Chain A
Amino acid sequence: MNTHETSENGPILSLEKVSKAFGGVQAVRDVSFAVERGRIHAVIGPNGAGKTTLFNLVTGVYTPDAGRIVFKGRPIAGVPVHALVALGMGRTFQNVELFSGMSVLENVLVGRHCRTKAGFWGAVLKPASVRDEEGSARSFALSMLDFVGMAHAAERRAGDLPFGWQRMCEIARALAGEPELLLLDEPAAGLNASETRELASLILKIRDLGVTVLLVEHDMSLTMEISDRIAVLDQGALLAIGAPREIQADQRVIAAYLGA
């Protein structure tokens, strides 16, 4: 599904001295790091560390006060949120944001929006090209639902599903846009132990498709287990970055976060 560009060796995403404040709160402070292709990267930190803000900066929802964010070699400044999705960025939300009154399949089809073209006249006249596009969008969406194990719920109203299922559907919706970089904001939040295990193996499966994963977590266990690289955020600033083993051994991290 993913057009993995082996020719591009640079990082898929890099942050250069990025800062963002809300009033007096410095939510993100001078953060720099790079995300390598094909890996699982995690950003961890206690509540209020600035993880979600960082996500909203990377996905173009917020504009940094200072610094630069580069996605696939392109500075994202001024690129609208929806255009970043078309460039290959997908995301999920900390508090699952499905289109609650629509079916699960329709939710995932909206995720396919940026890879399809039919416009107003196409909808009304339904020529063969539009019917074909709709057909292949449907089968792609179903295959994504199948991938996350939710094909059985395709026709259910999204808002009626249990929370854990909603989270999986949201991931399927993001995958439907064929992202090269998938951002997951606290995907384990609100999941029980067995659901968290399924999530861990799903994230590994997504990585195996060639999709780079950037995940934000509040809880350490999942991240330590599946991530290739971890950045620790504390009060908006980058405290440490490295492999899980290094992070676990880092005295500053232990003091600021693990010890707490």
Chain B
Amino acid sequence: MKRPLANTLAYALFAAAVAATGFGLKNPYYFQVLTFIGINTLLAVSLNLLTGYAGQISLGHAAFFGIGAYASGIFSTHFGISPWLSGPAALVLAGIVAYLVGLPTLKLTGYYLAMGTLGFGMIVSVILNNWSAVTGGSSGLYGIKGLTILGVNLSQGRNGFFLIWLLVIATFFLCGRLVDSRVGRALRAIHYSEQAARSVGVDTAGVKLSVFVLSAVIAALAGVFFAHSVGFISPGSFNFLMSVRLVAMVVIGGMASIWGALLGASLLTILPELLQAVAEYEMATYGLILILVMIFFPEGLVMGIRSAYEHARNVGKRAHPEP
């Protein structure tokens, strides 16, 4: 069950890969794509905590990404606050909003959270589009400052790449520790049987609410970085399609797996870049990919590939049948 050494090794390899890529690459386009993959990975990991581990479906996760981006963007451009302060303020705001959205919906079991977050995502979309005086409306918010220290911009190019992947690694570490703890076990237990979890003493409503807030704050963190990295945000990045894209990343990569979130986020960031032609049918493409993955790899690609590999290995070495 527990493989601390393998885990440490995986983290070390991952960090080494990030460092090698960061120092090795020259092409700014690649940095940009890899930075987007980092942002999406952060989002996928945050949703995975909620959906993959705790089994709670959110169809409005992009809204928290949007709250992080817009709150920090608005605070820093309209009020001239330093991004180093507007960012944390945006995280707090996202946490409070998640608490208020989660409180009524998470007391109930079943699909109330999915429906509640779906509605919530729509409301946020409407606000971003229509409260033009503050959000810039459908044309978006321009001129968001970068994250700078002593004049060095940390949110773009190579620096941006390092900063976002540092955040990803830190989040991986945090989630890894959380999942393998008292709270994490309670989370996973809720996924398998909420009724049984409650009957053995887990305050299921409380645990679900905490993980929902945590998940929202991590998504908002991705939003804060996104806003200050790109400098321009518009409602299209935080709409229902984005929420569906995030669910697809989690399902495709594999539920309850941080590496799966990385894979899912990478695939769904790169594919649209490659398949510009099908952009019009993006929603349909995700639907199709989701159906295929659900049919052929119900546990996601990471687990699917692992089982296929183990199966092949067993077939290969099975000289005599099992007793």
Contact = CB atoms under 8 A, between A and B. Distances in A.
Contact of A109 (B185, B197, B198): B185
A124 interface: yes
B184 interface: yes
Interface string A84-105: 0110001101000111111101
A85 B199 contact: yes
A59 interface: yes
Interface in B15-39: none
B202 A118 contact: no
Interface residues of B, number: 27
Contacts of A102: 185, 188-189, 192
Contacts of B178: 120, 123-124
Nearest to B192: A99
B192 A91 contact: no
Nearest to A80: B203
Interface string B159-195: 0000000000000001001100111111011011101
A126 B183 CA distance: 12
B196 interface: yes
A99 B183 contact: no
B201 interface: yes
Contact of B181 (A81, A86, A90, A118): A118
Interface residue range, chain A: 35 or more
A61 B189 CA distance: 18
In this complex, the member of B186, B189, B192, B201 whose beta carbon has the largest number of chain A beta carbons within 10 angstroms is B201
A227 B33 CA distance: 69
A6 to B, nearest CB: 25
A111 B183 contact: no
Given A97-B196, A106-B185, A124 B174 contact: yes
Interface string A227-239: 0000000000000
A122 interface: yes
Contacts of A91: 199
B167 to A, nearest CB: 15
Given A106-B1, A118-B183, A100 B200 contact: no
A64 B39 CA distance: 50
A113 B192 contact: no
A106 B182 CA distance: 9
B88 to A, nearest CB: 17
B137 to A, nearest CB: 38
Contacts of A124: 174, 177-178
B1 A155 contact: yes
A119 interface: yes
B204 interface: yes
A146 B210 CA distance: 34
Interface of B: 1, 174, 177-178, 181-186, 188-189, 191-193, 195-204, 210, 214
Given A99-B193, A120-B183, 14 more contacts: A80-B203, A81-B198, A82-B198, A97-B193, A97-B195, A100-B192, A102-B189, A106-B185, A110-B202, A116-B182, A120-B210, A122-B182, A123-B184, A134-B181
